[in-house]
Structure 1
Amino acid sequence: MVDAVDVVIVASAFGMDAVRTHGHLKWARASRQAGAAGFEVRRELFADEADAAPHNLRALGQRIAELGLWSVYSTPASLYTAHGKLDADALRLSIEEALALGARFVKLQLGGFATYANAAVIADHMRCAELRLVVENGQLAQGGSLAQFTGLFDALTREGHAEVLGMTFDIGNWAWCDVAPLEAAAPLAAHVEYIHCKTAVGDGARRFPAAPAADDTQFGAVLDTLPRHVPRGIEFPFDASRIETDAAHYVAWLAAA
């Protein structure tokens, strides 16, 4: 029998407007009721910048923990600027906010990484932080290419800090960059610490995230290639007419898939 995996529900799965209107805590409660182990807080879904103030993040984090959930803190900030320089200010702020929340992971976009990771500076920022830094493949060419991610982990190794960060592997996002997710899974699997689970439907600018079909063999093959023990996040939208049922169904399915 295969052991179940921790499943996280990403706040946006409940609908961006719903999260901005009702706040993250309502949907953290729904995630707990659905059987999730974790909940991903999205900074861009805060209704007000004051929601990111340390005391408000601490209060939210405490309430999430009281529900029996652990948390991920996701920010749209990029680790590297468009010119390839480490954005140390964005990293510092993201870490501070994630620590206030009490998150297990802080997730950033990769941004414009080119050749030099500046790994020693990242390691210095993470030295006393009791959380894990992960970078996610995004939907834009910058920060979403396979070559950038293989180059990043090669650079971290060359610079002597191979373990300073890991990867959030977003299965669906590769479609926006015309990369087959299975093609990316093998070379990156060793660095993957969190998986965003979704597929993509449509083409070009009219491409949208969607739930994987139960018989989607490519999706299953990607999961089989990636580490079995890492948490899996639901980042596709639930059906608004049956949110609770959808959430519980997909949590149970992904935990066992």
Structure 2
Amino acid sequence: MKIGINTAIYESQVQAGATQLECLKTLVTRFDVSAVEVRGEFFKPETRSAELLAISQLCEEQHWDLYYSVPEELFSSDGYNASLVTNLELATKYHIKSLKYSFGVQPTLQAHDLEALTQLLATTSIQVTIENQPNANGDLATFESDVAWVKSQKLTLGYTFDSGNWYWIDQQPEPAFAALKSAITVFHLKDIKDQTTVMLGQGATDWHSLLGQLSPEIPVFLEYNIAAADLSGQIDLVKQALS
């Protein structure tokens, strides 16, 4: 099973002025990871292209899969987000394996829009996933309905399960995982205590059980602020749970 790093682990460094590229370089030769996920909101617009190119080259050198977290909703009541087209082009250019959006709300799609979206998703090798949101759009009943809607429209969308987001809407991740397990293609791992993200093993999440139920091909990303001194230990805990 692949262990990945979402650059949310570097939130403190990014806020202090570091780039995602600079942060990811610190992983080289020090940590056993298979994938990295960069965050769209962490890029500066004027330097994003150059930084993404360098990150793509770094991933190729290190044999890491590259994922991209888009800080936008895929659907609104009017249809699908036009940024999907440009982001798929960006993903192709920079060898990004997967794009992650949040769902938004179920749209009313005209026949030609549904046909265009179906064609767009069916003719790309880029995986597009939707993630449960920590708001009313992401409660379990709503999200189950959204997943069923995607299936009914025959859209090739995956699902990124975030174990932490359920707590912000006063729901437990374990029953949500049981209900959505068959749709999961990416897993974002957090441990939570009193609606605060803590280091693995310090919270209330039964994350060992969740990881034990994942299919081996599903990547597991650490996605919470981690001090540099704690990163090795956090990765080791995930490796032990997956072994």
Which TM-score applies when normalising by structure 2? 0.86
Q: Is 1:9–1:31's contact at 8 Å kept on the other side of the alignment?
A: no
Give how far 1:78 is off.
0.8
1:140 is the counterpart of 2:135: yes
Match of residue 89, structure 1, among 82, 88, 91:
82
Partners of 2:142 and 2:71 in 1: how far apart? 18
Q: Report the equivalent of 2:94.
A: 101
Give how far 1:13 is off.
0.6
Partners of 2:36 and 2:15 in 1: how far apart? 13
Q: Does the residue aligned with 1:73 lie in a helix, a strand or coil?
A: strand
Q: Report the equivalent of 1:37.
A: 34
Q: Report the equivalent of 1:209.
A: 197
Partners of 1:119 and 1:253 in 2: how far apart? 44
Q: CA offsets per residue over residues 145-195 of structure 1, 9 Å max, x none?
A: 222322122223322x15x01100001111111121111112211110000
Give how far 1:132 is off.
0.3
- Call closer, same or farther: CA 1:112–1:52 in 2, change over 3 Å: farther
Q: Is 1:134–1:165's contact at 8 Å kept on the other side of the alignment?
A: yes
Give how far 1:123 is off.
2.3
One-letter amino acid matched to 1:245: S
Q: Report the equivalent of 2:149.
A: 155
User: Within 5 Å, which residues of 2 pair with 1:109-188?
Assistant: 109-113=102-106, 120-142=115-137, 144-159=138-153, 161-162=154-155, 164-188=156-180
Partners of 1:22 and 1:61 in 2: how far apart? 18
Identical-pair percentage: 21
Q: Does the residue aligned with 2:168 lie in a helix, a strand or coil?
A: helix
Structure 2: state its 5+ residue gaps.
none
Q: Report the equivalent of 1:238.
A: 226
- Call closer, same or farther: CA 1:121–1:189 in 2, change over 3 Å: farther
Structure 1: state its 5+ residue gaps.
none
Q: CA offsets per residue over residues 116-139 of structure 1, 9 Å max, x none?
A: 696543322223322100011121
One-letter amino acid matched to 2:91: A
Q: Report the equivalent of 1:22.
A: 18
Which TM-score applies when normalising by structure 1? 0.81
Q: CA offsets per residue over residues 186-242 of structure 1, 9 Å max, x none?
A: 22111100000002233xxxx3322331896722222234434300000122234x1
- Call closer, same or farther: CA 1:217–1:43 in 2, change over 3 Å: closer
Partners of 2:12 and 2:89 in 1: how far apart? 24
Q: Does the residue aligned with 1:94 lie in a helix, a strand or coil?
A: helix
Q: Is 2:14–2:20's contact at 8 Å kept on the other side of the alignment?
A: no
